[in-house]
Amino acid sequence: MQRMIFADKNVMTALILAAIAVFSLPLILPHVTHESMIYHIYLHLVAFMTSIFLVIVSALAYYRGRSRRLLYMMLALSMLAVAEFVNFVTATGNVPPLLLPIINVELSHMLILAMLVLFMTGVIKMG
């Protein structure tokens, strides 16, 4: 049964990335004619889609290997995906920059810091 779910990883990945592209169209279309903004938006969309691809690959690797290092790598890539999603919706102008009020730092920066800490934890043998 489990083999059938992950039988064709390429098709599954393509479907997920296509769904992201389709659902992001309402956020992108109003900015298509703004040359200065559209490339910035596309940059974050492509980074988000790439990070989602890496999350899928790392989740499959963790599913097979079940090691603590792979878990930390998967969590780190998940933090990157969330950070890029925040950057994407912020770049479209639909959401103002999300600041953490006490320290006045953007949420995406804190997520990238968390990603780096998780990568470091996965690279350095911890337990």
Average pLDDT over residues 56-82: 95
Partners of residue 83 on adjacent β-strands = none
The total of structural domains in the chain comes to 1
Reported confidence tier of residue 11, pLDDT bands at 50, 70, 90: confident
Reported confidence tier of residue 1, pLDDT bands at 50, 70, 90: very low
d(C-alpha 73, C-alpha 116), whole Å: 10
d(C-alpha 81, C-alpha 67), whole Å: 21
Which residues constitute the domain of residue 17? 2-123
